[in-house]
Amino acid sequence: MVVSLAVGVPKLAPAQGGPPPRPGERVQVRITGPEDAPVGLRCAGLVADVVGDTIVLGQPRSCPLGSYVADLRVARGDRGSRLAHTGIGFVGGALAGGVIARISAGDGCQIEGCDDGDLVIGIMTVVGTAAGAVIGALVGAALPAGPQWLTETATRPLRVAGVNVHPELRLSFDERRDR
């Protein structure tokens, strides 16, 4: 229960069958047809247009030109940076570990004649702070990061538009004879 509150309760199927992708949104696709298409190919691109139920991918894209039927995943929202999550976990864990270690150290030595109480308190606090920092950083690194990909429930027509341009420069060192 505590872990689910700290990590967050995942949303169950937040956008299954949600609104169609909008121009400019990033999509990941898996081509499922027709038979002469590269079925199973996974590629990505930016939505250039939505015409009826057809998604048109423009530049930049990693899909080959053509018309396909595809399963889509749309990037909607951002779950933050893994580096930020790790940093926040590190600092929060270090604070929590240090406080817990200091409280559990109490007065240090409880034995009659012990004069190392301050040393024991210091060692326990440093070890607790380090352990808390490591655990907090690991928990922060385990949190989801990056774009939140939402899967469309229906297979959609996909058209990959564009022109493949291959700039070329040709040099000839032969003399021109028609001068």
Query: What are the tens digits of pLDDT across the range 43-53?
Result: 888 888 888 77
Q: How many residues are given for the chain?
A: 179
Structure tokens at 66: 């053509």
Give this prediction's pTM. Answer: 0.54
DSSP string, 25-94: -EEEEEEEE-TTS-TT-EEEEEEEEEETTEEEEEEEE-SPSEEEEEEEEEEEEE---HHHHHHHHHHHHH
pLDDT of residue 111: 66
Residue 56, beta-bridge partner list: 49, 159
**pLDDT band for position 153 (cuts 50, 70, 90):** low
Ranked by mean pLDDT, which of 53-57, 141-145, 161-165 comes out on top?
A: 141-145
pLDDT of residue 10: 41
Q: Report residue 52: phi and psi, to 5°.
A: 65, -120
Residue 172 has pLDDT above 80, yes or no: no
Residue 125 parent element (H or E):
helix 117-142
Count of beta carbons in the 10 Å neighbourhood of residue 96: 16
DSSP code for 9: P
Query: What are the tens digits of pLDDT across the range 10-47?
Result: 443 443 456 678 888 888 888 888 888 888 888 888 88
State what percent of residues in the chain have pLDDT above 70: 73
